[in-house]
A = this chain, B = another copy of it.
Amino acid sequence: MDDKKKITIKDVAKHACVGLGTVSRAINGASGISPKTRKRVFESIKELGYTPDVIAQSMRSNKYKNIAFFIDISNVAFSKIAKGIQYELDNLGYILSLCDIGDKNVIEKVMTFMNGRKFDGIILSLPREDDQELHQFFSSIKIPIVTLDRDIPDIPAGITTDYFSSVKKATHYLLSLGHKGIALIGGSRHIRPTRVSIDAFQEAYNEKSIPCPEDLILEGQLTSEFGRRAIYDLLPKIRSGQVSAIFTLNNQIFQGVLHVLRENNLEYPKDISLITFEDYELTQLLNPSVTVIRRPLLEMGKSVSRILIKYIEEPDLYGKIAPSVIPTEFIIRDSCKFL
């Protein structure tokens, strides 16, 4: 990282003919140093090409300039969110340490990762909200933690995506097209996005005074495997016309659905109408293109970092800032037909 021999704060002090502490004060923008001295110190720093050793700084100051990000990497959304986070963090001199927690054995992975390590803050996107053991673990940590669209007791949400309004909009859209049998396939009520979406779905039906088909609300996991299973079970109802539209709340589920549809020679929008969450290359390039709800992933990453950093810099605020509400967009394309 450095050039030849490590040049330390000591060298700078000597070069600038000041004491160790003075250099430190200059670096940290602390008070109690005259502008003149400060300037001289900075000149020496520049001349010597000195860079503070982050490790040594950390040891003394308990600041690490390091954020941990726990997420299931398999989710396509991840890379864009990560990009947003990293972008924001970069500007502030923090780095991102990545931990893939997959979707099982989460606690074990988290603990291994944290073991003896130090971070200034944590960004959390857990596969479920009801893992008591995990909550307990995170609660015992006294650094700021912030979640991505999760309602977890004692841990403030950094951002909260407005699934409600777009799911309602989408459901209304389907309803207005004449669909009554809409199957909603999502994760479990134990994660916020699914929970909120179900509420919105039901409310849309209620507003039109159409009875909501509770048996068509399918809760499971955010995997393509679950999508396959769900749609497979739905096949008879699709064929009988009882179900005329499918609304998937996650891209992996959507992919599973698509597979089974294909295998069974079911075409959309002819045989079945489709709406899904997450707008990405697949939904755009599929033919016909797919009606979707889009989340601004990059922006989500940036927002969540901003809040986390604020908490880190002003610990007193922790938990007191309302999460950024991220808007979503309902984009109508060609995957739904008029009944």
- Whether A73 contacts B79 in the complex (CB less than 8 A), given A51-B115, A59-B56, A258-B285, comes out as yes
Contact partner of A100 (CB less than 8 A), chosen from B64, B87, B100, is: B87
Q: Which residues of chain B have C-beta atoms less than 8 A from A1's C-beta?
A: 114-119, 141, 143
Report whether B64 and A73 are in contact in the complex, using a CB–CB cutoff of 8 Å.
no
For window 82-123 of A, CB contacts with B under 8 Å fall at 82-83, 86-87, 90, 93, 95-100, 109, 112-119
Q: Please tell me if A318 contacts chain B, counting CB pairs below 8 Å.
A: no
Contact partner of A116 (CB less than 8 A), chosen from B52, B59, B79, B116, is: B52
Q: Please tell me if A282 contacts chain B, counting CB pairs below 8 Å.
A: yes
Q: Please tell me if A176 contacts chain B, counting CB pairs below 8 Å.
A: no
Closest-CB distance, A67 to chain B (whole angstroms): 10
Number of residues of chain A lying within 8 A (CB) of chain B? 51
Q: Please tell me if A136 contacts chain B, counting CB pairs below 8 Å.
A: no
**A95–B69 alpha-carbon span in the complex (Å):** 11
Closest-CB distance, A254 to chain B (whole angstroms): 9
Report whether A86 and B100 are in contact in the complex, using a CB–CB cutoff of 8 Å.
yes
Report whether A95 and B99 are in contact in the complex, using a CB–CB cutoff of 8 Å.
yes
Report whether A281 and B255 are in contact in the complex, using a CB–CB cutoff of 8 Å.
yes
- Whether A86 contacts B115 in the complex (CB less than 8 A), given A64-B55, A286-B285, comes out as no
Q: Please tell me if A54 contacts chain B, counting CB pairs below 8 Å.
A: yes
For window 200-227 of A, CB contacts with B under 8 Å fall at none
Contact with B along A259-290 (1 / 0, CB 8 A): 10010000000000000000001100111000
Which of A73, A74, A109 has the most C-beta atoms of chain B within 10 angstroms of its own C-beta?
A73
Q: Please tell me if A139 contacts chain B, counting CB pairs below 8 Å.
A: no
Which of A51, A96, A116 has the most C-beta atoms of chain B within 10 angstroms of its own C-beta?
A116
Q: Which residues of chain B have C-beta atoms less than 8 A from A52's C-beta?
A: 116
Q: Which residues of chain B have C-beta atoms less than 8 A from A287's C-beta?
A: 262, 286-287
CB-nearest residue of chain B to A252: B281
Contact with B along A54-85 (1 / 0, CB 8 A): 11101100001010000001101011101100
CB-nearest residue of chain B to A86: B100
Q: Which residues of A contact B (CB under 8 A)?
A: 1, 3, 51-56, 58-59, 64, 66, 73-74, 76, 78-80, 82-83, 86-87, 90, 93, 95-100, 109, 112-119, 140-141, 143, 255, 258-259, 262, 281-282, 285-287
A-B contact pairs, 16 of them (CB 8 A): A1-B115, A1-B119, A51-B116, A55-B58, A55-B64, A56-B59, A59-B59, A73-B86, A82-B98, A95-B98, A95-B99, A95-B113, A255-B281, A255-B285, A259-B285, A281-B282
Given contacts A52-B116, A73-B79, A79-B79, 12 further A-B contacts (CB under 8 A): A1-B114, A1-B115, A1-B118, A1-B141, A53-B118, A73-B80, A76-B76, A83-B100, A90-B113, A96-B97, A255-B285, A262-B287
Q: Nearest 3 A-B pairs (CB), nearest first?
A: A51-B116, A54-B116, A73-B83
